[in-house]
Structure 1
Amino acid sequence: MLNFVYDNKTTIIFGKGTQHEAGNLLKPFGKKVLLHYGSGSIRRSGLYDAVTASLKAAGVEYEELGGVQPNPTLPLVYEGIRLCREHGLGMILAVGGGSVIDSAKAIALGVPHAGDVWDLYLSKKQPQADPLPVATVLTIPAAGSESSPNTVITNEETRRKLGYGSPQLRPVFSIINPELFFTLPHHQMANGVSDMMSHIFERYFTKTLHTDLSDGLCEATLRTIMRNARILNGNLHDYDAWAEIAFSGNIAHNNLLGVGREQDWGCHAMEHELSALYHVDHGAGLAVVTPAWMKYVSPKHREMFVQFAVNVMGAEGSFREPGALIREGISRLERFYRELGLPATMEELGIQPRDFPLMAEQAISVRGPIGGLEKLDARDVEAIYRLACKDALPD
């Protein structure tokens, strides 16, 4: 196990009716906030009225900025920075899923920053000034951004999608009411499950030894996600299943599962190029890239993938035939994704092979070779993209 420091300042307020507490929870942090959200869904569901009534009752003034789209983009971030500066707003309340929260974090980062906030995403330098505090009301359990120190933004002009991380970006509190997820369409549930599972995979697959506790936590959380996703597959109004999924998604990305171990993040880097160029749903892209990555790197890391196949996917067989166990484990994961209606190939995503070389070069352009379990250069990334094509799949 590696040395580590773990510090998570985010207070989680979990359960039924908790969205009505937003105003009182915000009050100690300041009287003027930016209310940041996505489309009209929070108005149709009544969540907008509940949150704004709570703010007014607590005497919290607010300016609004809606319109966040999946794979949030820079222009709206710049508008949020302008609003905060112009109106003297001292905090951001993000009401939405990972895209809204990521956008809120980018705004929080940019308000005190002297230059272009995008430069921080390029350089990965830590902020020189304290970002504004962020709080959230979660509407989609998926990204784990409600208690993570990370944010991902797309620059449509340069067609780049980049992540950034700083401990200062962890929200001060996050409200998670599983009742708010009842109105989500099925595909958003499926994409969210894929995303949170990938957050665990990026931490689980490691060369670091003596990580028994975090291995077990990763495996238990993955099994919990799959078990309850199957329940939601037939009933999107099951409160208890959503509660398990939401709690698992939070743990998946607050980095508790990743401490003391080298992490990977190769699949996320590869998928970001798909969604930057083709605007595919992040979870859908991960469902295509992840099994292909497993097939490509597992021959060099058989012990880790046998452990995954047996402990997570429930594969059975002889340990003297590790290759067969690994293939069965990956196959079971692919079948699970199919159960949820997720895509399996680049063709289903509409990705053109002619763009593979460009996306592969872009994936390694910021920090060089990607991955922790296995370092991947552009040739490796392109090979994984091709392995995710229909013609590469077994009959």
Structure 2
Amino acid sequence: MYNFEYYTPTRVVFGKNSEKETGRLIKAQDCKKVLIHYGGTSAKKSGLLDRVCESLDEEGVEYVMLSGVVPNPHLSLVREGIELCKKEGVDFILAVGGGSVIDSSKAIGYGVANEGDVWDFYDEVREPQGCLPIGAILTIAAAGSEMSDSSVITNEEGWLKRGYSNDHCRCKFAILNPELTYSLPAYQTQCGCVDILMHTMERYLNSGDNMELTDGISEALMRTVIKNAKILKDDPENYDARAEVMWAGSLSHNGLTGCGTDGGDWASHQIEHELGGMFDVAHGAGLSAVWGSWARYVYKDSIDRFVKFAENVLQVESKENKEQTAIAGIEAMEAFYRSVDMPTSISELGIQVTDAQIEELAEKCSFFGRRTVGCVKVLGKEDIMNIYKMAR
């Protein structure tokens, strides 16, 4: 077991109609003007934005709006948001949406609170000294950004997708109403479930000795998501299933499932980030497309963890030897992905990736040779290329 720090300062308000608490929660932050940041038209069509604005009006809180966040949120909109906040004297950001909106809000918060180019933080050139306070109203259960210290931004110059983690950006509060996810397309719902699973699997499938309690929490979380993802495929307005998945999303990425571990592997995420940057694929779908190839490439280097994953999460019966059990677990995970219409190869994303593109993806993933990824098996550029080729 490793030493660890666990820090979760975000207040969670969970349940039906909880978005009506927005004004009260923001008023308690003693702010004067709010940026309401959101994506496209769904928040308007559903009436959610109207309810949020009404709640702010009741508390006498001023606000301005900025829409346009896309999946794999763009640096250009972040920069637009920074300028808008400075011009309007914004001192609080309210993210209304999923992980992309929250990530964009965090980046804007960094840019307003610090001088210089906000991309420096994602390029790991320097560290921020602060961030505007942020609150979130979650409409997609997936990224866990509402309780995490992380955000991911795509720079259109070179289509570089980079993540950055820092406690300054943690949300002051997160409003979680499972009903707000009823209208999600089935594909987005299942992409979210994959993302939640992967946030837990990245920490669980590692190279060290874990705490038994942390393992048990992780295993229960993964089994719960798998069970309820199947329910939601046939019954998308099942409140209990939506609630289980939404709470799992927050717990999967707030640090809980990493307590006492070596921090996790995260190679699958880094490999997918470059697919998202180059081809603008949905993050969860990209993860399911590459995970099986990564797992087959590395499992022998941490075979006991893969066996435990197979037996305790996927209920695979022990085979004649550890290798057969581990492989059966990988196959069972891919079978689950297919059962909820998620891809298990890059071609199933509708992408025919070329050798030249694979080399470019691996170059970017290795930060042009400046880093390796993963801990189960440390991966350099050639390893990453091999995984992309296996995933084709």
TM-score (norm 2): 0.97
Q: Which residue of 2 aligns with 1:173?
A: 173
Residues 177-216 of structure 1: matches in 2 within 5 Å?
177-216=177-216
Structure 1 residue 124: Cα displacement = 5.7
Structure 1 residue 317: Cα displacement = 2.8
In the alignment, the residues of structure 1 paired with residue 253 and residue 318 of structure 2 have an alpha-carbon distance, to the nearest angstrom, of 32
Structure 1 residue 210: Cα displacement = 4.2
Structure 1 residue 315: Cα displacement = 0.5
Structure 1 residue 7: Cα displacement = 1.2
Q: Which residue of 2 aligns with 1:74?
A: 75
Structure 1 residue 211: Cα displacement = 1.7
Change (3 A) 1:101 1:124: farther
Structure 1 residue 126: Cα displacement = 2.6
In the alignment, the residues of structure 2 paired with residue 72 and residue 119 of structure 1 have an alpha-carbon distance, to the nearest angstrom, of 16
Q: Deviations over 1:233-255 (max 9, x none)?
A: 10100000000000111100001
Q: Within the alignment, does 1:382 sit opposite 2:385 as a pair?
A: yes
In the alignment, the residues of structure 1 paired with residue 68 and residue 292 of structure 2 have an alpha-carbon distance, to the nearest angstrom, of 33
Structure 1 residue 260: Cα displacement = 2.0
Change (3 A) 1:273 1:190: same
Q: Which residue of 2 aligns with 1:143?
A: 143
Worse overlay, 257-266 or 307-316:
257-266
Residues 324-335 of structure 1: matches in 2 within 5 Å?
324-335=324-335
On the 8 A contact 1:33/1:93 being kept in 2, the answer is yes
The SS at the match of 1:93 is: strand
Give the letter for the 2:83 counterpart: R
In the alignment, the residues of structure 2 paired with residue 37 and residue 343 of structure 1 have an alpha-carbon distance, to the nearest angstrom, of 28
In the alignment, the residues of structure 2 paired with residue 269 and residue 345 of structure 1 have an alpha-carbon distance, to the nearest angstrom, of 16
In the alignment, the residues of structure 2 paired with residue 342 and residue 207 of structure 1 have an alpha-carbon distance, to the nearest angstrom, of 27
In the alignment, the residues of structure 2 paired with residue 219 and residue 296 of structure 1 have an alpha-carbon distance, to the nearest angstrom, of 23
TM-score (norm 1): 0.96
Structure 1 residue 351: Cα displacement = 4.1
In the alignment, the residues of structure 1 paired with residue 219 and residue 385 of structure 2 have an alpha-carbon distance, to the nearest angstrom, of 29
In the alignment, the residues of structure 2 paired with residue 179 and residue 210 of structure 1 have an alpha-carbon distance, to the nearest angstrom, of 35
Q: Deviations over 1:303-359 (max 9, x none)?
A: 1111011001111133x4112111211111111101111112111221413211110
Q: Within the alignment, does 1:85 sit opposite 2:86 as a pair?
A: yes
In the alignment, the residues of structure 1 paired with residue 144 and residue 352 of structure 2 have an alpha-carbon distance, to the nearest angstrom, of 27
Give the letter for the 1:375 counterpart: V
Q: Which residue of 1 aligns with 2:25?
A: 25
Q: Which residue of 1 aligns with 2:225?
A: 225
Give the letter for the 1:268 counterpart: H
In the alignment, the residues of structure 2 paired with residue 251 and residue 341 of structure 1 have an alpha-carbon distance, to the nearest angstrom, of 24
In the alignment, the residues of structure 2 paired with residue 60 and residue 34 of structure 1 have an alpha-carbon distance, to the nearest angstrom, of 11
Q: Deviations over 1:198-238 (max 9, x none)?
A: 10111111122142111111111000000011110101000
Q: Which residue of 2 aligns with 1:296?
A: 297
On the 8 A contact 1:145/1:151 being kept in 2, the answer is yes
Q: Deviations over 1:156-213 (max 9, x none)?
A: 1121000011011110000000011110110000100111111011111112214211
In the alignment, the residues of structure 1 paired with residue 177 and residue 310 of structure 2 have an alpha-carbon distance, to the nearest angstrom, of 33
On the 8 A contact 2:82/2:112 being kept in 1, the answer is yes
In the alignment, the residues of structure 2 paired with residue 57 and residue 365 of structure 1 have an alpha-carbon distance, to the nearest angstrom, of 49
Change (3 A) 1:187 1:99: same
Change (3 A) 1:93 1:277: same
Q: Which residue of 1 aligns with 2:15?
A: 15
Worse overlay, 59-68 or 294-303:
294-303
Give the letter for the 2:379 counterpart: L
Q: Deviations over 1:11-61 (max 9, x none)?
A: 000000000110111002212110000000011111011101101111110
**Which ranges in structure 2 are unaligned for 5 or more consecutive residues?**
none
In the alignment, the residues of structure 2 paired with residue 90 and residue 109 of structure 1 have an alpha-carbon distance, to the nearest angstrom, of 12
Q: Deviations over 1:273-324 (max 9, x none)?
A: 0010011111100001111111110122211111011001111133x41121
Equivalent of 2:376 in 361, 364, 373: 373
In the alignment, the residues of structure 2 paired with residue 135 and residue 195 of structure 1 have an alpha-carbon distance, to the nearest angstrom, of 21
In the alignment, the residues of structure 1 paired with residue 248 and residue 37 of structure 2 have an alpha-carbon distance, to the nearest angstrom, of 25
Residues 42-121 of structure 1: matches in 2 within 5 Å?
42-121=43-122
In the alignment, the residues of structure 1 paired with residue 205 and residue 345 of structure 2 have an alpha-carbon distance, to the nearest angstrom, of 22
Q: Which residue of 2 aligns with 1:35?
A: 36
On the 8 A contact 1:36/1:95 being kept in 2, the answer is yes
Change (3 A) 1:252 1:343: same
In the alignment, the residues of structure 2 paired with residue 210 and residue 143 of structure 1 have an alpha-carbon distance, to the nearest angstrom, of 24
In the alignment, the residues of structure 2 paired with residue 291 and residue 125 of structure 1 have an alpha-carbon distance, to the nearest angstrom, of 35
Q: Which residue of 2 aligns with 1:270?
A: 271
In the alignment, the residues of structure 2 paired with residue 107 and residue 304 of structure 1 have an alpha-carbon distance, to the nearest angstrom, of 39
Worse overlay, 361-370 or 71-80:
361-370
On the 8 A contact 1:219/1:312 being kept in 2, the answer is yes
Aligned pair count reads 387
The SS at the match of 2:126 is: coil
On the 8 A contact 2:76/2:156 being kept in 1, the answer is no
The SS at the match of 2:83 is: helix
In the alignment, the residues of structure 1 paired with residue 325 and residue 184 of structure 2 have an alpha-carbon distance, to the nearest angstrom, of 36
Give the letter for the 2:374 counterpart: G
On the 8 A contact 2:73/2:104 being kept in 1, the answer is yes
